[in-house]
Amino acid sequence: MERTVLHETAQLGQSIWLDTISRDLLLTKGLDVWIEKGVLGVTTNPAIFEQAIAKTTDYDEEIRKLAKEGKSVAGIYETLTLQEVRAAADILRPVYDKTGVDGYVSLEVNPLLASDVESTVSEAERLFKALERPNVMIKIPATSEGIEAVEDCIAKGINVNATLIFSTGQYSSVAEACLRGLERRARTNEPLDVASVASVFVSRIDSAVDALLEQKNDCEFAELKGRIGVDNARIAYQRYRKIFDPANARWKALADRGARTQRLLWASTGTKNPAYSDVLYIENLIGPNTVNTIPPRTLSAFLDHGKAALTLENDLAEAQARRDLLSAAGIDLDDVGLKLQQDGVAAFNTAFDVLLKGIGDKANKTPVQ
């Protein structure tokens, strides 16, 4: 097997996951090829399924068949997504069996439930049970209600990917929810080997902050452009290290009983500004006990010309100084993070609605003879 930069990255303690799924990827052994190159997991979201199902013809025949069987549009969506996640989980099962910490596939709860704790937990529990695989995670947006749901799901033994985290405050709340969920299991003497990641979004921070800095039109703040996304992630990692420090008595009590750390996962790591390096959010965020989920185009770029080195704790003093300068510019990262999270939930809602409409249109379309 050819050694790649992904294998080198794994040796440094970071797992590379693939941020996409499709029928073609699964049937043509495309995922197997990525795994051979060093991919260790897969993440999905409503926008990815919208692209895969609504905007290709790969599923048309099956959609019409399911419709004829009397499945509702929502039922068709669930059948297809569960089917694809199960298939990907089976392909990744050897990775899971070998590593114990990777080989996972994530499936998101209905994003329309983001403001309803009870419904989110109920759906997460139902989906986790329906998937019937140990190497799956249920994605839950880290809204205030979602954070409550994360705690409840971990307490129930459901593997969780807490997503749409944009600020260090949001991250701290998710990590706290993880600890509370594990502590609830500990009190009832249940196993603590529940898998969990906290997905911190990176490039969207730069897109938002850069736009705000443009409005300032002040050369004093020009150096902040394209820097805050990585800085924000690095500062979040410092919080992770304190929370899950073996010397932290609260965490040690859980770890001694088999609890796993809730790894930080870097999401939104495709470069959106063409003026920046196409591997900016990969090369600068490599460190132990982390995951980076990467879209195919960016992953191909990293394989082609990326470098693997421990970079996650570089320039920490400078990162904090830039954060202070950002505050001096009148930009509050917590406010930016809250708006980005709200926009992210809205975007997933839209993608989900478009996906359901696309399935409905395909279900009612007469096939071409």
Is residue 297 within 8 Å of 282, Cβ to Cβ?
A: no
Q: Examine the residue annotation and report whether 216 is marked as an active-site residue of this protein.
A: no
Report d(CA 283, CA 159) in Å as an integer: 28
Nearest alpha carbon to residue 48 among 21, 30, 69, 73: 21
Number of Cβ atoms within 10 Å of the Cβ of 263:
21
Report d(CA 265, CA 243) in Å as an integer: 16
Phi, then psi, of 105 in degrees rounded to 5: -125, 135
Q: In degrees, to the nearest 5, what angle opens at C-alpha 221 toward C-alphas 218 and 223?
A: 130
Q: Which two tokens stand for residue 249?
A: 């008595």
Is residue 202 within 8 Å of 281, Cβ to Cβ?
A: yes
Set 29, 71, 129, 139: catalytic member: 139
Count how many Cα atoms sit within 13 Å of the Cα of residue 182 in the half-sphere of its side chain. 27
Nearest alpha carbon to residue 271 among 344, 213, 323, 205: 205
For residue 35, what are the contacts with CB-CB under 8 A and spacing of at least 6? 91, 92, 95
Residue 70 amino acid letter: G
The CA–CA distances, whole Å, from 357 to 74, 79, 141 equal: 10, 16, 23
Q: In degrees, to the nearest 5, what angle opens at C-alpha 340 toward C-alphas 339 and 341?
A: 90
Report d(CA 132, CA 144) in Å as an integer: 28
Is residue 165 within 8 Å of 129, Cβ to Cβ?
A: no
Annotated catalytic residues are 139
